[in-house]
């Protein structure tokens, strides 16, 4: 609710604060238990930062994150440690997030070692079970991550993330670095695990196509703001925000009714340190009018379960 994350911009010998990058700027939304919420937007729109603030891996500048009703940024260290078990993250680059000097056995077993009182033998049993659950050959647990392929390393990351039986997982570009064929295998695995373990996902990706098949609902971000939230089918059938329409037009559509025309945005993404006045999208929006420059549109309900932040939503 009203979540903000600003990063100070520091200059000079004494690190004087000369401004702030408004990575997440007053975002309110909810993720429902058991769903996959797809979060999309260009690089630098704040989606990864939002995911990290939601897990309390980064503090919030303002606003609050409630997990099952509790404001997580107000918890003490002990409560947060307990909550940590419920909320996990899967990163884009398994090689960067898995310590190369650790055996796979220890990488997957580490959260169990830190958060449970299980014996080494019991942890090893769990590691075997976890590896089998994510489709890895458990006899290879005494090997190092570099001895696995990219897709297998992402499975290691997933096994590690589910080791403590979390409820909520943020998948930050979890399949973006993988080959297309491997992407769908990992996505299928994530959907299977969701069903079996009752997981809730925040699935962060660059484009709408990347989140379409896994998401129940989708949120679109632009320059630190949530500009549209809708059910996946409704969003694809009819985007209401001009920026969503742009993202949708980037997906090739070989349908009977012909191709959707690709809309190419003019100009660069403005700096989140100095966002445009009014609607932040007005410098690139094909439909911008005078009001857009002056007045910031709020994220408002446009139809049941559908929200859009635009003065002139597409009809």
Q: Which of 41, 219, 275, 297 binds ligand SF4 (CB under 6 A)?
A: 297
* 97: contact with Mg ion by CB under 5 A: no
* 270: contact with ligand SF4 by CB under 6 A: no
* 288: contact with ligand SF4 by CB under 6 A: yes
Q: Where are the alpha helices (DSSP H) in the chain?
A: 47-54, 77-84, 94-97, 104-115, 120-133, 150-162, 180-197, 208-212, 232-237, 242-249, 290-294
* 177: contact with ligand SF4 by CB under 6 A: no
Of 151 and 242, the one with the shorter C-beta distance to ligand SF4 is 242
Q: Which of 98, 104, 131, 292 binds ligand SF4 (CB under 6 A)?
A: 292
Of 29 and 287, the one with the shorter C-beta distance to ligand SF4 is 287
Residue 158 binds what, of Mg ion, ligand SF4, none (CB under 5 to 8 Å, by partner type)?
none
Q: Where are the alpha helices (DSSP H) in 17-103?
A: 47-54, 77-84, 94-97
Of 41 and 94, the one with the shorter C-beta distance to ligand SF4 is 41
Residue 285 binds what, of ligand SF4, Mg ion, none (CB under 5 to 8 Å, by partner type)?
ligand SF4
Give how many residues touch ligand SF4 by CB under 6 A: 13
Of 170, 219, 165, residue with least CA distance to 52: 170
Residue 48 binds what, of Mg ion, ligand SF4, none (CB under 5 to 8 Å, by partner type)?
Mg ion
Q: Which of 23, 41, 48, 91 binds Mg ion (CB under 5 A)?
A: 48
Of 24 and 265, the one with the shorter C-beta distance to ligand SF4 is 265
**142 φ, ψ to 5°?**
-90, 30
Of 222, 215, 233, 249, residue with least CA distance to 309: 222
Of 156, 155, 250, residue with least CA distance to 212: 250
| Contacts of residue 205, Cβ cutoff 8 Å, sequence gap at least 6 | 38, 39, 40, 173, 175, 176, 211
* 310: contact with ligand SF4 by CB under 6 A: yes
Q: Which two tokens stand for residue 234?
A: 């409704």
Distance, in Å, from the CA atom of 108 to the CA atom of 54, rounded to the nearest integer, reads 23
* 279: contact with ligand SF4 by CB under 6 A: yes
Segment lying near ligand SF4 (by CB under 6 A), choices 6-14, 183-191, 207-215, 283-291: 283-291
Q: Which of 242, 272, 275, 276 binds ligand SF4 (CB under 6 A)?
A: 242
Residue 200 binds what, of Mg ion, ligand SF4, none (CB under 5 to 8 Å, by partner type)?
none
**59 φ, ψ to 5°?**
-75, 160
Please classify residue 76 by burial: count the beta carbons closer than 10 Å to its beta carbon, then call 0-12 exposed, 13-18 middle and 19+ buried. exposed
- Compute the radius of gyration of the chain from its Cα atoms: 21
Of 105 and 282, the one with the shorter C-beta distance to ligand SF4 is 282
Of 201 and 222, the one with the shorter C-beta distance to ligand SF4 is 222
Minimal distance, residue 304 CB to ligand SF4, in Å: 21
| Contacts of residue 135, Cβ cutoff 8 Å, sequence gap at least 6 | 155, 189
* 285: contact with ligand SF4 by CB under 6 A: yes
Q: Which two tokens stand for residue 264?
A: 């190419």
Q: Which residues bind ligand SF4 (CB under 6 A)?
A: 241-242, 279, 281-282, 285, 287-288, 292, 297, 310-312
Q: Which residues bind Mg ion (CB under 5 A)?
A: 48
């Amino acid at each position: 609710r009203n979540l903000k994350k600003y990063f100070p911009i520091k200059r000079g010998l004494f690190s004087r604060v000369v401004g702030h990058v408004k990575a997440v700027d007053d975002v309110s939304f909810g993720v429902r238990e058991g769903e996959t919420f797809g979060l999309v937007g260009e690089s630098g729109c704040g989606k990864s930062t939002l995911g990290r603030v939601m897990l309390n891996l980064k503090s919030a500048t303002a606003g609050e994150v409630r997990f099952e009703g509790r404001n997580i940024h107000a918890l003490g260290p002990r409560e947060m440690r307990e909550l940590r078990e419920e909320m996990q993250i899967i990163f884009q680059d398994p090689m960067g997030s898995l310590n190369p000097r650790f055996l796979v056995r220890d990488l997957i077993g580490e959260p169990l070692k830190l958060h449970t009182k299980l014996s080494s033998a019991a942890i090893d049993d769990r590691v075997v079970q976890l590896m089998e659950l994510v489709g890895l050959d458990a006899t290879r647990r005494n090997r190092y991550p570099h001895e696995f392929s990219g897709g297998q390393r992402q499975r290691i990351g997933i096994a590690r993330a589910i080791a403590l039986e979390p409820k909520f997982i943020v998948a930050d570009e979890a399949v973006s670095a993988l080959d297309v064929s491997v992407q769908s295998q990992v996505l299928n695995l994530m959907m299977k695990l969701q069903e079996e373990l009752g997981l809730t996902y925040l699935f962060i990706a660059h484009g709408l196509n990347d989140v379409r098949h896994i998401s129940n609902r989708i949120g679109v971000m632009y320059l630190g703001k949530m500009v549209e939230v809708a059910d996946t089918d409704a969003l694809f059938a009819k985007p209401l925000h001009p920026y969503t329409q742009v993202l949708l037009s980037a997906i090739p559509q070989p349908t009977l009714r012909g191709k959707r025309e690709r809309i190419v945005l003019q100009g660069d993404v403005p700096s989140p340190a100095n966002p445009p006045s009014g609607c932040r999208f007005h410098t690139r929006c094909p439909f911008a009018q005078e009001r857009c420059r002056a007045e910031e549109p709020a994220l408002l309900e446009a139809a049941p379960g559908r929200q859009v932040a635009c003065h002139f939503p597409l009809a």
